[in-house]
Structure 1
Amino acid sequence: MQVSVEMSLYPLADNYLDTIKDFIERLNQHSELTVLTNTMSTQVFGEMQDVMRILGEEMELLFQNVPSNVLVCKFINKDLRPENA
């Protein structure tokens, strides 16, 4: 099943921009995902099993390296990539 996820990361740290950029760069390294970023949020698209596994791994790494974060996510069980609209 294809899913679309919209995420906004709010690191509660002084170097918050570096933390956000690093998280997005790591997501982009996974060929199973399509990652689109704008000034408000990051959208991730892919097979649900892949998306959930990768987000879990990347969130764990993020939470281990930066003690306090807020990650807001919205999930939909459709492929909402712009080229599929």
Structure 2
Amino acid sequence: MKISIELTLTPLRDNFEEPIIEFIKELRASSFTVLENPLSTQIYGDYDTLMPYLTNEIKTAFENIDNGLLTMKIVKSDRSSYEPTF
């Protein structure tokens, strides 16, 4: 089953950019399709391979910050080729 996931990592500290950049670099280095915008990162792939991968990457990101928040939205379909029609 193909899924699309939107992720927003928010370290709760003054120097918040470095952990976000490292998290995104790790996602980019994966075999999954990754798209970014200024507010979130989207990653696309097969549920059974993507979810275990994300579990490890999220754990690593959380280990590198004292306090933080990760917002995740999951859609059951591959939306990587979506283009607005308006």
If the length of structure 2 is used for normalisation, what is the TM-score? 0.89
Q: Which runs of 5+ in 2 are unaligned?
A: none
- Whether 1:4 and 2:28 are equivalent positions in the alignment is no
1:14-29 maps to which residues of 2 (within 5 A)? 14-29=14-29
Give identity over the alignment, percent.
35
Q: Name the CA shift for 1:74/1:83 in 2 (closer, same or farther; >3 Å).
A: closer
Cα deviation, 1:44-81, whole Å, max 9, x if unaligned, reads 10011121111100111111111211000100110001
Q: Please tell me the residue identity of whatever aligns with 2:81.
A: P
Question: CA-atom RMSD, angstroms?
Answer: 1.6
Aligned length: 84
Q: Please tell me the residue identity of whatever aligns with 1:14.
A: D
Report the structure, 1 or 2, having the larger helix content.
1
1:28-39 maps to which residues of 2 (within 5 A)? 28-31=28-31, 33-39=32-38
- Helix, strand or coil at the partner of 2:39: coil
If the length of structure 1 is used for normalisation, what is the TM-score? 0.90
